[in-house]
Amino acid sequence: MQHQIILLKEGTESSQGKSQLISNINACQAIADCVRTTLGPRGSDKLIVNNNGNATISNDGATIMKMLDVVHPAARTLVDIAKSQDAEVGDGTTSVVLLAGELLRQVKPYIEEGVHSQVTIKAYRKATNLCIEKINEIAVTIGKTNEAEYRASLEKCAATAMSSKLIHGQKDFFKKMVVDAVLMLDTLLPLDMIGIKKVPGGGLEDTLLVQGVAFKKTFSYAGFEMQPKSYDNPKIALLNIELELKAERDNAEVRVSNVAEYQKIVDAEWGILYDKLDKIHQSGAKIVLSKLPIGDVATQYFSDRDMFCAGRVPEEDLKRTIKACGGSVLTTVGDLKDSTMGTCERFEEKQIGSDRFNFFTGCPHAKTCTVVLRGGAEQFMDETERSLHDAIMIVRRAMKNDAIVAGGGAIEMELSKYLRDVSRTIAGKEQLLIGYAKALEVIPRQLCDNAGFDSTNILNKLRQKHAQGHKWYGVDIMNEDIADNFHECVWEPSLVKINALTAASEAACLILSVDETVKNPKSGGGDMGGMPAGRGRGRPM
């Protein structure tokens, strides 16, 4: 008799073949079903509660994906493509997951009948390339010559990105703010130069856009109220130094034989502190910002000399202040000179809601801006921040890649019609790319379903219009009908669509190419507080 060969460690789970592939496809469909209802202007929101009991309300695909603790290895691929779409383009995170799920759904019956997955992969890759060529061919370029028109087209892209979000009611107010914010930046459009600060209270319409840096007043000691709250053209010292007295016992052990010696130690400490403060004062700085605490003695000292100080400034705010106002963070006061200090045209402290904010405006170096968000509930403000992030990313993309297409399912229907036409000219199994054409229709169909329309009826109308050569016809959510979405100003950067199609098709091909899953056993096994299963605690091995 031949003995059984044990190749893998005991406890390893291994499953392979057709059943494994079908199981992976089912898991991915379950993930797509989670976010399916959040697509479009009439999409629903999801309320997700984490282990700490904090609730998040969102309809942003990437946020939902991050918060779902997905353990299925194949389904994690969809979480990754949603994250990559969010990082690369900012919007279209729900669409990309839906597309990937639908591509797998279309291929499932063929896999069950025994068609080899590599045939499908080849067809899908070909279809993706055809789609990208078609998008590049029909995309419309935004003209940059006429500034008013260019701005209006960017606003339309921002409004489209926000129409499916929680703040769609205020999109006219926010689209101007988002475009203003992005136009204030340098040519590289760095995202970290747009700060978003949330202040509870007030309505959404009370949100401000500050051309410069703004951050919340930091913790302050007595004497703070006596400091001036506004300056013109001040010098700004940016430090990474503690300006307070340390309790001796915290730092060192010093043995003294009489009181006079102890007094010398105390005097020396005060001397060091006052020496630092004098140097800061003599440098001509009017505003002192430090990453570390500024104590009560220093606060009082500065207020006596009409200087303003803030300690424990968050690092990101300090970095933005450096980029905007110039200067550099110093770890010693010995090097304070004009070249190492920042400046701005105006500094003031204002009350916003229940918080005080420090504003630096008219910054000479980098262009930066801060959005101060107002709103009622905290979850509502968090969702508004996510919505603005998506809109800001879309405007950046539209500025960098100035080609746009119509949204609302129009481009998907046009690509679907194009792929059907191409598939009729191909002999052999690669006709499978008709599955890709069917999958693309999931976007307009889901837009209709989420709004409560008859999706079959509307899709039939769309197919007829696209067959007649009306390439920009898509779903009209407002009138339960179809409309020329390019004319209706529902616009999206073509890059969003190209990225979504590429990522969805890559994910689908990746999952189809897997035919075996091997799970290694956990080290230690069991749930006995890290003990191997089947052993009592404390017993020898």
Tokens of 140: 């419309």
Catalytic residue among 56, 93, 160, 207: 93
Catalytic residue among 38, 63, 77, 94: 94
Q: How far is CA 8 from CA 13, 21, 167, 201, in A?
A: 9, 21, 54, 60
Tokens of 507: 């994910």
Contact 473, 413 (CB under 8 A): yes
Contact 238, 317 (CB under 8 A): no
Q: How far is CA 323 from CA 85, 181, 331, 360, 454, in A?
A: 28, 16, 18, 12, 53
Catalytic residue among 86, 317, 390, 402: 390
Q: Specify whether 456 is catalytic.
A: no
Q: Specify whether 421 is catalytic.
A: no
DSSP string, 358-408: EEEES-SSS--EEEEEEESSHHHHHHHHHHHHHHHHHHHHHHHS-EEEETT
Mapped onto helix, strand or coil, the DSSP state of residue 60 is: coil
Q: Where would I find the H helices in 114-258? A: 117-138, 147-162, 171-183, 248-251
Q: Specify whether 93 is catalytic.
A: yes
Question: Which residue in the block uniquely carries the two structure tokens 């696209």?
Answer: 466
Tokens of 79: 């979480």
Query: Shortest CA distance to 377 belongs to which of 385, 369, 388?
Result: 385
Q: Specify whether 390 is catalytic.
A: yes
Q: Which residues does the annotation mark as catalytic? A: 60, 93-94, 390
